[in-house]
Amino acid sequence: MIENRLILLRKTIREKNTVVTKNILNNHTISICVVCGTDKDLTKEHVIPKWAFGNDQKKFFTTNINNISQSYSQAVLPTCGNCNSYILGAFEHYLESLFAKTDLNSDFFSTKEKEKIILWLESIDYKFQALNLRRKFKKMRDGKYIPYLSDIPIGVMQNESPSKVFSNFRNALKKLGIKSKAESLNSLVIFKTTNESFHFFHKTNEFIFIELPKQKIALFYFITLKFDDEKIASETAMRKIKEAY
């Protein structure tokens, strides 16, 4: 079943990605589905799924650009009912049960499963980029309100060049239309964790880290870097995690 839904996801993205990104880049806060571009039957899609952060209203992430916190429960994007539940919902359901049934003490993910985990992490990267285009800088926490900066999207302030931000965004969506993740398999580092709380950090186009306490699994994914040797990927990931905490 999940294969059919993912075929539909890829087909939708291949057909619609140009018009979706064009519309969003013309108007960052436009009310259209961030997957297929329709403006009908819009619902809210969580950037990080509820099951991952335990649906805790108080769990938040802090944006390094202005130090302002936002809760995961309010980090949502418009998606149509069909993309939200029939496609992305089914995919989330698949992943949640995949993580629940895989005990890393005795078991590991197959190549096909790893490719799906990569697709999932890439979809979070895309959603975060879309979210950061919608969110305005406003002001630094404890800082002064600066009118000419306040309206600039967080996503644009994160990069020295707006055109780079926009091309990252286009590429992030395009990637979701590609089936094989064979070249990126070594870029995914999976390890056991005993941490009790959900952790997440993300750097657009660079890496994404998710720690799932319930499933006792942590995932680190290099979004663009490729590795010949998975040991080097794993060492680099550990270094990045240490830097972030």
Other CB atoms within a 10 A radius of the CB of residue 172 amount to 23
- The SS3 call for residue 25 is helix
User: What single DSSP character describes residue 80?
Assistant: E
Restricted to residues 186-245, the positions that interact with Zn ion (CB under 5 A) are none
Q: Of the two residues 80 and 117, which places its CB atom closer to Zn ion in the complex?
A: 80
Q: Of the two residues 60 and 86, which places its CB atom closer to Zn ion in the complex?
A: 86
80, 119, 165, 172: residue in contact with Zn ion (rule CB under 5 A): 80
Q: Which stretch binds Zn ion (CB under 5 A): 72-80, 110-118, 132-140, 192-200?
A: 72-80
6, 13, 32, 83: residue in contact with Zn ion (rule CB under 5 A): 83
User: What single DSSP character describes residue 34?
Assistant: T
Structure tokens at 75: 């980090």
Restricted to residues 152-191, the positions that interact with Zn ion (CB under 5 A) are none
CA angle 211, 165, 41 (to 5 degrees): 70
Give dist(CA 169, CA 135) in Å, integer. 15
* Dihedral pair phi/psi, residue 229, rounded to 5°: -120, 120
Restricted to residues 14-33, the positions that interact with Zn ion (CB under 5 A) are 33
Nearest approach, Cβ of residue 40 and Zn ion (Å): 9
**How far, in whole angstroms, is CA 186 from its chain's centroid?**
18
Q: Give the up-direction half-sphere exposure of residue 5: CA atoms within 13 A in the CB hemisphere.
A: 17
35, 124, 130, 237: residue in contact with Zn ion (rule CB under 5 A): 35
Restricted to residues 104-143, the positions that interact with Zn ion (CB under 5 A) are none
For the packed helices 90-101 and 111-134, what is the interaxial angle rounded to 10 degrees? Answer: 130
Q: What is the DSSP string of 39-68?
A: -SSEEEEESS-HHHHTT-TT-EEE-TTT--
Nearest approach, Cβ of residue 78 and Zn ion (Å): 9
Q: Of the two residues 84 and 204, which places its CB atom closer to Zn ion in the complex?
A: 84
Q: List residues bridging with 70 in a β-sheet.
A: 61
Site for Zn ion contains 13 (CB under 5 A):
no
Q: Which stretch binds Zn ion (CB under 5 A): 16-24, 73-81, 173-181, 186-194?
A: 73-81
Q: Of the two residues 79 and 187, which places its CB atom closer to Zn ion in the complex?
A: 79
Q: Which stretch binds Zn ion (CB under 5 A): 35-43, 44-52, 99-107, 200-208?
A: 35-43
6, 32, 36, 233: residue in contact with Zn ion (rule CB under 5 A): 36
Q: Which residue has the tokens 């944006």?
A: 63
- The SS3 call for residue 245 is coil
Binding site for Zn ion (CB under 5 A): 33, 35-36, 80, 83
